[in-house]
Amino acid sequence: MENQKLEQVAKIKPKPRGVVNPNLVRGIAFVIITISLVVCTVLCILAIWQFTESDAVWRAIATFIVVSVATGVFTFVNERLG
């Protein structure tokens, strides 16, 4: 009898909270970081084949890092402090 009662206990997962819907923020963050990564990859390939300047590659990589960090920080702040 006691085993049945223990099995019926439901695991309650805390609902994520934030100023903006956390699931929406995670989805947008994923899309932004993925697009930035694809653009950086394409620029790196173009630089290897000398279709673009290497300076553009370093700027793209720096931009990717800044965008990724900013997106990650926003997601963290929204979920933890929102």
- The tens digit of pLDDT for each residue in 24-82 reads 999 999 999 999 999 999 988 988 888 887 788 899 899 999 999 999 999 999 988 87
Q: How far is CA 9 from CA 2, 6, 15, in A?
A: 11, 6, 18
CA gap 57, 54 in Å, rounded? 5
Residue 32 structural domain: 19-81
Give the pTM.
Answer: 0.72
Whether residue 44 is contained in a domain is answered as yes
pLDDT of residue 3: 56
The torsion region of residue 17 among left (phi > 0), alpha (psi -120 to 50) and beta comes to: beta
Smallest CA-to-CA distance from 76 within 14, 33, 22, 15 is with 22
Look at residue 7 and tell me whether its pLDDT is greater than 70.
Answer: no
Tokens of 10: 């439901």
So what's the pLDDT on residue 53? 79
For residue 53, is it within any domain? yes
7 part of a folded domain = no
> pLDDT confidence of 19, banded at 50, 70, 90?
confident
Instruction: Evaluate whether residue 62 is within a structural domain.
Output: yes
Residues with Cβ within 8 Å of residue 26, at least 6 apart in sequence = 75
Structurally, the chain folds into a number of domains equal to 1
